[in-house]
C-alpha cells in the first residue's frame, strides 16, 4: 500500500474544504453546492490524488524510466522515432514516470536555440529525478550497439550511483546486445524484413549504420551474417567504420544487382540519413551508387518507427524493471 505523504494530503484537504457542511461555509459554499459542482470538484480531487500516486510502486517508492538517445534536431523524425518509443514505453509501464535525455551537447544546444526546447543530459536528468525523490530508476538507451556512447552512459550511471548511493538504478541494453536465448539480432532481422519492399532478382537493399572504432562495431558483422543466413539481399555498411560502401559495392557487383534501395540503419532519419546516405552531393552513398551505374531509391525512415524493433526496447526495459526488485539491482547492466 502506498504511504500517505504531504502531496497526498493536498487533495484530501481540498476535499474536506469543499465538502464540509454548508452551515460552516455559508457564504463560501454558495457556488460549490450548486447542482453539479460536487461532482466536478470530486473528480478534480480524485484526479489530483491519482496524479500524485501514479508514479509510485506498490511500496510507495517513486519509479522512473529515463530514455536516453543521441538525439536529433529534425522535429519530424524525432516525433516518429524517439517520441514514439517513449510513448510505447509509457503505455507498457504505467507505474513509471518516463523522462528523456540526449547525449549530444551539439543537438541539445541547437534545439534550445532553434526550438526553445530544453533537453537534459543523462546526468542532469538523473540529478532531477534524485531531487524529486525517485528511488527506482531504469536508464534505457535507444542506441543501436553497445559502443562508445553506451560506455559513456554506463560511466554516467555508475558515477551517479557512487555519488548518491542509489542502489536501485539499472542500465538497460541497446538494440543489438545479445545473440543468446533472447536473440536481439534475430529480432532485428525480423524487424527489417517487415519494412523491406518486394525485391526482384536484380534488386538489393543497402543499410547505412553509423559505425565506430569501438570493438562493439562487430555487431554489424554479426547482423550481416544473420541477414545472409535468412537469405535476404540486404547489405549493411557504416559511415565511420567497416563494412564500408566499397565493401557493399563488391557484393552488389557479385550479385548482379542493378537497382538499390537505401535505408538508414539508425534510430532516427537525421543528418547522416539526410546528407551522407541520400544527399544530392556526389559524395553521398546515393550519389556514389548512381555514379557507379545503379538505379537508386531511398526509404527515409528511422528504425525507431519500426514497431517490431520498438518491441526490442520494451523487452530490454522489462528486463531492467525486473532487476529493480531483485538483489542484482545493484548491478549496472540489465
Cβ atoms of 206 and 262 closer than 8 Å: yes
Residue 197 CA: distances (Å) to CA of 205, 246, 260, 263: 9, 24, 11, 11
Which residues are known to be catalytic? 210
Q: At what angle do helices 82-92 and 307-324 cross, to 10 degrees?
A: 50
Give the 3-state secondary structure of residue 169: strand
**What CA–CA distance (Å, rounded) separates 58 from 112?**
37
What is the DSSP annotation of 251-297? HHHHTT--EEEEEE-SSS--HIIIIIIT-SSTTSHHHHHHHTT-EEE
Q: Is the dihedral of CA 286, 288, 289, 291 positive or negative?
A: positive
Amino acid at each position: 500500500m502506498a504511504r500517505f505523504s504531504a502531496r497526498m494530503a493536498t487533495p484530501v484537504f481540498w476535499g474536506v474544504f469543499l465538502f464540509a457542511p454548508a452551515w460552516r461555509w455559508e457564504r463560501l459554499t454558495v457556488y460549490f453546492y450548486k447542482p453539479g459542482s460536487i461532482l466536478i470538484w470530486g473528480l478534480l480531487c480524485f484526479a489530483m490524488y491519482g496524479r500524485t500516486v501514479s508514479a509510485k510502486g506498490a511500496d510507495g517508492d517513486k519509479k522512473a524510466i529515463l530514455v536516453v538517445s543521441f538525439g536529433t534536431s529534425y522535429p519530424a523524425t524525432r516525433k516518429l522515432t524517439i517520441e514514439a518509443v517513449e510513448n510505447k514505453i509509457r503505455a507498457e509501464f504505467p507505474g513509471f514516470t518516463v523522462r528523456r535525455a540526449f547525449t549530444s551537447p551539439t543537438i541539445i544546444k541547437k534545439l534550445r536555440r532553434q526550438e526553445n526546447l530544453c533537453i537534459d543530459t543523462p546526468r542532469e536528468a538523473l540529478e532531477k529525478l534524485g531531487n524529486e525523490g525517485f528511488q527506482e530508476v531504469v536508464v534505457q538507451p535507444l542506441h543501436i550497439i553497445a559502443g562508445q556512447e553506451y560506455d559513456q552512459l554506463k560511466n554516467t550511471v555508475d558515477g551517479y550511483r557512487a555519488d548518491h548511493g542509489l542502489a536501485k538504478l539499472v542500465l538497460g541494453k541497446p538494440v543489438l546486445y545479445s545473440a543468446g536465448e533472447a536473440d536481439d539480432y534475430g529480432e532485428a532481422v525480423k524487424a527489417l524484413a517487415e519494412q523491406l519492399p518486394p525485391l526482384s532478382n536484380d534488386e538489393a537493399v543497402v543499410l547505412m549504420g553509423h559505425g565506430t572504432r569501438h570493438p562493439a562495431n562487430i555487431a554489424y558483422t554479426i547482423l550481416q551474417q544473420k541477414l545472409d543466413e535468412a537469405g535476404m539481399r540486404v547489405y549493411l555498411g557504416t559511415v565511420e567504420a567497416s563494412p564500408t560502401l566499397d565493401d557493399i559495392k563488391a557484393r552488389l557487383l557479385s550479385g548482379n544487382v542493378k537497382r538499390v534501395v537505401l535505408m538508414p540503419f539508425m534510430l532516427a532519419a537525421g543528418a547522416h540519413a539526410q546528407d551522407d546516405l541520400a544527399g544530392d552531393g556526389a559524395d553521398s552513398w546515393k550519389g556514389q551508387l548512381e555514379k557507379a551505374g545503379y538505379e537508386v531509391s531511398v526509404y527515409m525512415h528511422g528504425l525507431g518507427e519500426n514497431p517490431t524493433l520498438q518491441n526490442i526496447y520494451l523487452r530490454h526495459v522489462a528486463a531492467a524493471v525486473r532487476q529493480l526488485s531483485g538483489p542484482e539491482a545493484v548491478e549496472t547492466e540489465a
